Amino acid sequence: MVPLNLWVLGTRKFAVLGKARLERECAISELLRNAGFNVPKVLHVSHNERLVFMEYIEGENLGNAIKRIANPSSSSDNTSRDLEKLTRVGELLARVHSLNVALGDTKPENVIVDPNDNLYLLDFEQAFHGGDKSWDIAEFLYYSGHYLPPLHSNDKAETIANAFINGYLTAGGNINVVKKAGTSKYTRVFSFFTTPSVLLTMATICRKTEPAR
């Protein structure tokens, strides 16, 4: 998170103080749990040490699915299953946004797929009501893009972006939030570690997104 803290200046604000992060983690976790989302249970909170102990969720993080999609030797069946997970994450994020909550840290690693194929959301230290929903979309897509190889990766970038955005819009996500995620305000933050062609491909898809049918 340190690099994003440095590069994100002028795009969005991150909570830095431990107390603020702790409060957000607990409050948003409880809100999402009550709304029916799969999130780890908060087991104990130490305010003095500013620590929160949470339930361990067995499974793999979504970053592994994106790595498989990026791998040219991955089977078509595996790729289809992993793309379906991205669509479901898009749907989940649209539901979160419908609560007027932005998660703030939507790296694929913050989604766990458990052995029963349930999706769990993690890490709410940067989440808050009325936050920047376009940032959530931008970070998920452009961070995903840094897993793609520098050559011949535009098709993969397009496939990943379409799967995620289709899920988001189908679940009622705001199309203008998606379009805004494609602007330079967000792409410049990720230009340090995502291939320019991948970044451009995903940003173009965001900007040219049409309503779900």
Give residue for tokens 């699915």: 65
* pTM for this model (two decimals): 0.86
**Domain range annotation of the chain:** 2-207
> b/e for 139-164, b at 16 or more Cβ within 10 A?
bbbbbbbebbeeeebeebbeebbbbb
Structure tokens at 157: 């970038």
Measure the CA angle with vertex 13, ends 174 and 130; round to 5°.
35
The radius of gyration of the chain from alpha carbons, rounded to an integer in Å, stands at 17
CATH number belonging to domain 2-207: 1.10.510.10
Burial of 26 (0-12, 13-18, 19+ CB in 10 A): middle
List of long-range contacts for 2-9, beta carbons under 8 Å, 24+ apart: 3/192, 3/193, 4/139, 4/189, 7/189, 7/192, 8/189
Closest CA to 144 of 160, 158, 166, 133: 160
The whole-angstrom separation of Cα 87 and Cα 90 is 5
User: How far is CA 191 from each of CA 47, 92, 194, rounded to the nearest angstrom?
Assistant: 37, 26, 5
* pLDDT tens track, the chain, 213 positions: 444 443 444 455 554 445 666 777 778 888 999 999 999 886 556 556 556 657 788 999 999 999 999 988 888 888 999 999 999 999 999 999 999 999 999 999 999 999 999 999 998 888 889 999 999 999 999 999 999 987 768 999 999 999 999 999 999 999 999 999 999 999 999 988 899 999 999 999 999 998 876
Burial of 182 (0-12, 13-18, 19+ CB in 10 A): buried
